Amino acid sequence: MNQQTIEVVVLENGQAPPTGTTTPPRKPKWHDTINYIGNPDNFCRQNREKYGPCFKTGVFGGTTVFVGSAKAIQMAFNGDLKYTEIALPPTTMDMFGPYSLFQRPDLHRQRKTALGPGLTGRALDGYTPQIDETIGRGLQDWSTPSSIALYPAVEKICFDVLVPLLLGVSLNDSDRATFEGLPVSSKAELKALYKTYFDGFYGLLKWKSRFTAYGRGLKARAALIDFMRAVICRRWVEGPINPTADFLSMMLAGQQENPDGVFSDDLIENQCLLQLWASHYEISALVCSLIYQLGRHPQVVQRLLEEQAEVMGIQSNVNRFEPEHLKQMLFLEATIKETLRILPPSTTANRRLTKSVVLDGVLYEKGWVLIAEPRIANMMADHFHKPELFDPDRFGPERGEGKMYQFIPFGGGVHACLGAQMTMIVTKLFASHLLRLFDWKLTGSAQFVQFPLRKIKDDYQIDIVRRV
Judged by the rule CB under 6 A, the positions of this chain that interact with ligand HEM are: 101-102, 112, 119, 275, 278-279, 282-283, 286, 345-346, 348-349, 409-411, 415, 417-419, 422-423
Tell the smallest beta-carbon distance from residue 50 to ligand HEM (Å).
Answer: 25
Tell the smallest beta-carbon distance from residue 177 to ligand HEM (Å).
Answer: 26
Q: How far is CA 286 from CA 60, 138, 357, 423, 465, in A?
A: 26, 17, 35, 9, 22
**Buried-exposed string 279-291: b where 16+ CB fall within 10 A, e elsewhere:** bbbbbbbbbbbbb
Tell the smallest beta-carbon distance from residue 409 to ligand HEM (Å).
Answer: 5
Question: Closest CB to ligand HEM among 8 and 163?
Answer: 163
Distance CA 234, CA 365 (A): 51
Tell the smallest beta-carbon distance from residue 376 to ligand HEM (Å).
Answer: 14
Tell the smallest beta-carbon distance from residue 63 to ligand HEM (Å).
Answer: 19
* Residues in Cβ contact with 121 at an 8 Å cutoff, skipping those fewer than 6 apart: 421
Question: Closest CB to ligand HEM among 193 and 287?
Answer: 287
- Strands of the sheet containing 461-466, edge to edge, are 146-149, 461-466, 438-442
Tell the smallest beta-carbon distance from residue 386 to ligand HEM (Å).
Answer: 23
* Residues in Cβ contact with 158 at an 8 Å cutoff, skipping those fewer than 6 apart: 280, 283, 284, 287, 426
Residue 45 buriedness (CB in 10 A; 0-12 / 13-18 / 19+): middle
Q: How far is CA 155 from CA 139, 162, 294, 298, in A?
A: 12, 10, 18, 24
Question: Closest CB to ligand HEM among 102 and 451?
Answer: 102
Residue nearest to ligand HEM (CB): 419
Q: Is-contact 387 375, C-beta < 8 A?
A: no
Distance CA 143, CA 438 (A): 10
Distance CA 270, CA 224 (A): 9
Question: Closest CB to ligand HEM among 348 and 356?
Answer: 348
Question: Closest CB to ligand HEM among 84 and 215?
Answer: 84
Question: Closest CB to ligand HEM among 54 and 312?
Answer: 54
Q: Beta 64-67 vs 369-372: how paired, if at all? A: parallel
Tell the smallest beta-carbon distance from residue 124 to ligand HEM (Å).
Answer: 10
Question: Closest CB to ligand HEM among 228 and 312?
Answer: 228
Tell the smallest beta-carbon distance from residue 316 to ligand HEM (Å).
Answer: 29
Residue 393 buriedness (CB in 10 A; 0-12 / 13-18 / 19+): middle
Say how far residue 389 (Cα) sits from the centre of its chain.
Answer: 23
Tell the smallest beta-carbon distance from residue 37 to ligand HEM (Å).
Answer: 18
Q: How many CA atoms does the CB half-sphere of 62 hold within 13 Å?
A: 16
Tell the smallest beta-carbon distance from residue 347 to ligand HEM (Å).
Answer: 7
Question: Closest CB to ligand HEM among 112 and 303?
Answer: 112
Question: Closest CB to ligand HEM among 60 and 102?
Answer: 102
Question: Closest CB to ligand HEM among 11 and 278?
Answer: 278
3-class DSSP assignment, residue 354:
coil
